[in-house]
Structure 1
Amino acid sequence: MSDPFTLDLHTYLNRLGYSSAPPPTLATLRELQARHIAEFPFETLANLLHTPVHVDPATVQDKLLRQGRGGYCFELNQLFLLLLQALGFEASGLTGRVVMNQPEDVLPARTHLLVLVTIDRVRYIADVGFGGMVPTGPLLLDSQEQQETPHEPFRLSLVDGTYTLHALAADGWRRLYLFDLQPPAEIDYEVGSWYVSTHPDSPFLGQLLVARAGHRQRKTLNNGSFAIHRLGEPSERVQLPDVDAVLQVLREEFAIRVPEHPQLRGALERMLADAKARQ
């Protein structure tokens, strides 16, 4: 039997810039979500290296709070959910199906985790783990109107009990993921993460995808392509020339403490070669 998990609330809040626990209000949720996305990057270094991604809370907490790393949705949103619950929010997890850049008739597996939060009997979804298009503020669940965030506008649609999250991108409204209100079990996190980190059809396997959102900008790294997207301005993109440039961007632009791994340089070299071959 595993040891009971204890959230290191003091260290977590300190990383987010709090000296004491804030109250469980909508204003706090907005601030927590924005700070979390800015502090803890979305990153798939483990997927690049084909190493297992364990999503038990103790391992996730150690990775994010002590190893100087980020993670993907089953890590970022799971720890964020535990934080909200520790602060007294009424919050629970939901699982979703990622449909971004997919045909309308495709119904993929449940490989995304998001958070449902109820404040004063009003329901919101919060998400700190959807990479370069993560919503940077909580969204009203029971509204199909356009909703503003510190970055792009978003909207939800509802058909036959299934919600679809859309973001307003430069080319119009873009579908991101589908979800419903069926409560997941912890095993669903394990299975979803196992698929994402090991299945040959996973879009993350062998890929380096990194994202971080700050004040009026987003930074993304898609294998060797580094981009800065500023609100109201053209995006800046650069193809990184070598492994050292990638490592520098990971450390300086995304504040990731890059792990010592004997296969890392080789994996990055292959990634850059593949990216160059696709150009």
Structure 2
Amino acid sequence: MDDGGFDQEGWLARIGYSGGRASTLETLRGLVFAHAHAISYESLDIMLGRIPKLDVASLQKKMIDGGRGGYCFEQNMLFRAGLRSLGYQLTSLQGRVVRGLDIDAPRPAIHMLLIVHLPEGDYLADVGFGNLAPTAPLLFKPGIEQETPHETMRFIDVGGELTLQSKLGDEWAHVYRVIPYPRYDGEYEITNWFTSTHPDAPYHSNMIAARPGPNRTRITMFNARVTVRYPDGRAERRTLNGNKEYRHVVREEFGLNVSQEDLAAMLEVVEQRGAKGAPHPFFS
């Protein structure tokens, strides 16, 4: 995608970042943390038949000016434009999501992520994985336990694909396997179309949102279930009841500027087609 016309000042204001702008590891740490906390992961437009647009102008209109979030392609495309505007050199990659699955599950490449090239080494930057998006850049090497403002994370090699894992309590949870080959933007367009139109994708029928919270917590919404997870693995869950509670969670807890009309339409979709019971494994 062409990054021309990117509003660097608008982006930095939206994420509340006021630190240095040199293309360093320290700056990258601040940007990942700020973006992840300010712009929630969400796929709500897909429920209403709106296929996400990935051009920079559309991403800015939605997430910077419109007060909305986005899912992986939207988030990491916007973040990539921001990094490039600051002079970072990076490579765009894809990953095979194995959250809640076997680590070697035969998964398609449906996730976008970035590798940022720095003097200290190559670092993964990913602000678009929802409830386990790293809140710090991660050195892209296997076998190193790395602290973040939230979980401890690491990569392990699985058949030539470095696999991101997150320590939840005393257990290592699989997140995704990284395909180590650069991707063209046209491949993201194809995958974006697939994930936002395929009838079996979870985004069509379910209200999904996530963001990192204070004190190393994570908050996730999957339809009526809202989960706050703590770094020791504990989770507190509550069930939403009625339009008023949904509106409060969407607007106040996730900071999403969703109209009352759209919210009502989303709740109708959930009532008609939404998953009942436990969340999809990607969003548990």
Partner SS for 1:251: helix
Residue of structure 2 equivalent to 1:96: 95
Q: TM-score, normalised by structure 2?
A: 0.89
Q: TM-score, normalised by structure 1?
A: 0.91
Q: 1:104 to 1:235 in 2, by over 3 A?
A: closer
On the 8 A contact 1:47/1:208 being kept in 2, the answer is no
Residue of structure 2 equivalent to 1:22: 21
Residue of structure 2 equivalent to 1:254: 254
Alpha-carbon separation, structure 2, partners of 1:160 and 1:231: 29
Alpha-carbon separation, structure 2, partners of 1:234 and 1:73: 26
On the 8 A contact 1:242/1:272 being kept in 2, the answer is no
One-letter amino acid of the structure 2 residue matched with residue 224 of structure 1: A
Partner SS for 2:195: helix
Alignment of 1:81-230 (within 5 A): 81-120=80-119, 122-170=121-169, 172-216=171-215, 217-230=217-230
**Residue-pair matches, total:** 277
Q: 1:78 to 1:187 in 2, by over 3 A?
A: same
Residue of structure 2 equivalent to 1:76: 75
On the 8 A contact 2:147/2:153 being kept in 1, the answer is yes
Alpha-carbon separation, structure 1, partners of 2:264 and 2:103: 38
One-letter amino acid of the structure 1 residue matched with residue 227 of structure 2: A
One-letter amino acid of the structure 1 residue matched with residue 201 of structure 2: S
One-letter amino acid of the structure 1 residue matched with residue 78 of structure 2: L
Residue of structure 1 equivalent to 2:242: 242
Alpha-carbon separation, structure 1, partners of 2:200 and 2:235: 30
On the 8 A contact 2:225/2:239 being kept in 1, the answer is yes
On the 8 A contact 2:54/2:74 being kept in 1, the answer is yes
Per-residue CA shift, 1:50-75, capped at 9, x if unaligned?
32111122211111101110000100
Alpha-carbon separation, structure 1, partners of 2:175 and 2:2: 37
One-letter amino acid of the structure 2 residue matched with residue 100 of structure 1: R
Alpha-carbon separation, structure 1, partners of 2:197 and 2:121: 38
Structure 1 residues without counterparts, runs of 5 or longer = none
Q: Which range moved further: 188-197 or 96-105?
A: 96-105
Structure 2 residues without counterparts, runs of 5 or longer = 279-284
Shift of 1:3: 8.8
Per-residue CA shift, 1:213-244, capped at 9, x if unaligned?
13322211111111222434843221001122
Q: 1:20 to 1:156 in 2, by over 3 A?
A: closer
Alpha-carbon separation, structure 1, partners of 2:96 and 2:275: 30
